[in-house]
Amino acid sequence: MANTKFQYVRCFEESDACLPDTYMVVRIDGRGFTKFCKAHDFKKPNDKRALDLMNCCALQILNDFPDIVLAFGESDEYSFLFKRKSKVFNRRRSKITSSIVSLFSACYVFHWNEFIDTPLKQVPQFDGRLVLYPNDQVMRDYFRWRQADCHINNLYNTTLWNLVLKGNLTLADATEELKGTLSKDKNEILFSKFQINYNNEPEIFRKGSVALQMLNTEEKRQKKAKFVPEIYHIDIMKDGFWEKLNCIK
């Protein structure tokens, strides 16, 4: 058979299995989303519709990959945590990463209309990478890093865009104004200039989104799946949160 003669090229495929018994985290990131947001008039500093769409896609990922026990999303990024003992796709790095990034991207287009009424004008694109975290400490610190990042960015953007939208500064002037300011300075600007208490801002903006596999209640159980993924906007910085996640290992 003609095929056999060329099949030797398969030996160039390298094994890429991940070290067992470590946490695999796949992070996907929007590519060129500054332009993409502009093209679709996403609201500044946050567009809740776009975040809801991201969360919808994440839920689908958790549905299809029951070994994912938690995911965290903010802005145009999402991180998916597999339980430590997961054997999904024999832990092959490319297979896992590409399947997740593919499903997420396809979902983003598929569900666009359910969340956003402007028609989709250009194709969204994400990249993804898988990183291994060998123990609870570093895995938790990874997700703390992302939630701290969400908080810092959101405080900054909220202040910046209030200066622009309500304060009538240009974007350049507002940026200049915030140079070197600390968190408390931004809180102060928000409060004194715009009567905004940052702590009353919506939690989805301040804390990002956490997707979790939740045990089915009786009613849901009739639809068969044992776990159903749900979105929360909660604090994941404290050890207390993680200690309750006992399905993780």
Smallest distance from the beta carbon of 230 to a copy of itself, in angstroms?
20
Smallest distance from the beta carbon of 58 to a copy of itself, in angstroms?
13
Nearest CB to a copy of itself, comparing residues 60 and 209: 60
Cβ neighbours, 10 Å, residue 42: 18
Q: Which residue type does 104 have?
A: F
Nearest CB to a copy of itself, comparing residues 125 and 216: 125
198, 155 contact by CB (below 8 A): yes
Torsion of CA 104, 106, 107, 111, to 10 degrees: 150
Nearest CB to a copy of itself, comparing residues 131 and 169: 131
C-alpha closest to that of 80 among 92, 89, 90, 63: 63
Kindly state the tokens that stand for 40.
């679709």
Query: Which positions lie near a copy of itself, rule CB under 8 A?
Result: 1-3, 5-9, 11-15, 17, 19-22, 28, 31, 60, 93-95, 97-99, 101-110, 120, 123-135, 138, 141-142, 144-145, 148-149, 151-152
93, 26 contact by CB (below 8 A): no
Smallest distance from the beta carbon of 56 to a copy of itself, in angstroms?
11
Q: Which helix (H) or strand (E) holds 27?
A: strand 23-30
Smallest distance from the beta carbon of 192 to a copy of itself, in angstroms?
23
Provide φ and ψ at 242, rounded to 5°: -70, -35
Smallest distance from the beta carbon of 217 to a copy of itself, in angstroms?
26
Nearest CB to a copy of itself, comparing residues 28 and 164: 28
Kindly state the tokens that stand for 174.
């507002």
Nearest CB to a copy of itself, comparing residues 64 and 230: 64
Nearest CB to a copy of itself, comparing residues 119 and 240: 119
C-alpha closest to that of 54 among 142, 115, 143: 115
Q: Which residues pair with 193 in a beta bridge?
A: none
Strand 77-82 vs strand 209-215: parallel, antiparallel, or unpaired? unpaired
Smallest distance from the beta carbon of 91 to a copy of itself, in angstroms?
10
Nearest CB to a copy of itself, comparing residues 172 and 240: 240
Q: Between vectors from CA 119 to CA 65 and to CA 108, what angle results, nearest 5°?
A: 10
Q: Between vectors from CA 30 to CA 25 and to CA 33, what angle results, nearest 5°?
A: 160
Smallest distance from the beta carbon of 236 to a copy of itself, in angstroms?
12
